[in-house]
Structure 1
Amino acid sequence: MKSLKVIFFGTPEFAKTSVEAIHQSTHEVVGVVTVADKASGRGQKIHQSAVKIFAVKNDLPVFQPEKLRDPEFLESIRKLNADVFVVVAFRMMPKILFEMPPIGTFNLHASLLPDYRGAAPINYAVINGETKTGATTFFINEKIDEGNILLQKEIEIFPEENAGELHDRLMEMGAKLVVKTLDGLAENSIQEKPQREVKHPKNAFKIFKEDTRISWNQNAEIVHNFIRGMSPYPAAFTILKIGEDEKYLKIYKGKFEKAAHDKEPRTLEIDKHQFKIHTKDGFYYPEEVQLEGKKRMSIKDFLNGFQHFDHISMV
């Protein structure tokens, strides 16, 4: 099989698994492009991306341009004479860059395109109660996640699986799909095809803090899927009133029950033995939570932290 020269573009752990798989394949990674190092955390320590850490460890040339149109950066990339660019969890690329390699530039996306285009496909597949999802490799064009499809692979979403667990399975599966795509391009055995036309494709827009608040005025199963889809990151939250204080409560895991009742959604029943929240058509029982200023804990440990419950309510 012909060995392709690859430049890899990516940043987080999800991308690192793919560049590692390429590096271990018959193809050659001739360069890696990732985000600039950032200061973060309490001590403002400099942190490198997962992709950079891997590249440095394996003596791969690393590029961290502030601007992808920078002439010096573009010339450095051009000199590497790559056959193909591979993009996984990276930012928007200008046409001058993605049209550079002779074969083209392809992206790995964690959904069955055209559904769930956007920044958070894994979260939204779980939030929407999907029973299947997958990964797609496709050639990049000027529109977001709309290029011609190369390969797709479908997987089941397990009933109680959260977004983090699904992320990890898709990360491994996606890395294999990237290598399979490179193999197919090297052998000229992949027939690219346009994405099917869908009037109303399911979207996966970027999730902001205000999008993560739980709406209890919905069916219990919808609430349950929302919490699964936000877990463990960015995490769904609600607000508790404890005495005179209002505190954020992140909920990572729980179970739901459908049952008729005559109380308002958001009504809270809480004591030493239970934490029960009324929804539109039943109840939700948190099992893993994190109160503002505290660490993540089981509901049992959370309830053990209180002496009195008559001054706790939902906002």
Structure 2
Amino acid sequence: MRRKLIFSILLLSSLIAKSQDNAIFADARSHYNNAQYADALISLNRITETDEANFDVWLLKGDCYQKEENFVEAIQAYKKAEKLNDQSALLYANWASALYNRNEIEAGEKKAKEALKIDKELPEANYFMGNLKHHEYSLMAALKYYNQAIKLKPDYRDALYMRAATYAELGNYSKALKDYEKVLEIDPNLAQAKYNIGVIQLATESYAAAAKTFEELKPENLDKPIDYYFYQAEALYFAGEKEEACLLYEKAKDLGDIESAGIYQKYCLDKEERKEPAGKTRTIRATF
């Protein structure tokens, strides 16, 4: 009777602990979904203090570290997750992403292949393999994987974004614009997508449209404000708004842009006639 009582107490304690861990994990997941990665890690660390054998916890820890761009810690967490479950396609897909972000392309491709071997219809596995192929400048191969990721998950923002970038690099601007516009439907606040629409409009000599697109952006939301000022100036200059353009060339010059400095001196101060077309370099791709 005493033995049964002790067993019942132990079982009840175990169930209570498990229930508490589930609640903490749900809290961590909520923090993660709200981009509160440090808070999510605090919750996850509470679980691993008493239970290190939880695959989902280690996977989410790795994802949190990756969102914080702490790729070394992310990979360490994924290794611990693998010891608990080596048949998770999502684990290997996310691991491939971490390796890609560390520029370990060969190792990343190996993990992406493992993910696809387990589940060839996992959108994330196809997307990250596309990124790896894109890094190698195998653009048609990258398109193949992005197409598959989007087929499996039509509103996959990141895959649509990178497919647009790939189309742009191949010179297929109409398809690139269509994908960027779809990205903005999904995420209207993704400034980088709108920025690249402006760059494509500039490249296709739609100067007034490009100037309008750039005007709707805030430079502080972009990776490289210098490029933004340069391209906005180019659009305005060739749209006939030369005085406004010169103010922006000057701003880019003051931020250290050599090309803008040359244009500002030659065409704004010296008033020479400019005949060459607008610059078509320096397109920025966002990192996800």
Length-normalised TM-score, structure 1: 0.27
Greater Rg, structure 1 or structure 2? 2
Larger strand fraction of residues = 1
Length-normalised TM-score, structure 2: 0.29
Work out which structure has the larger RCO, using CA pairs closer than 8 Å and 6 or more positions apart in sequence.
Answer: 1
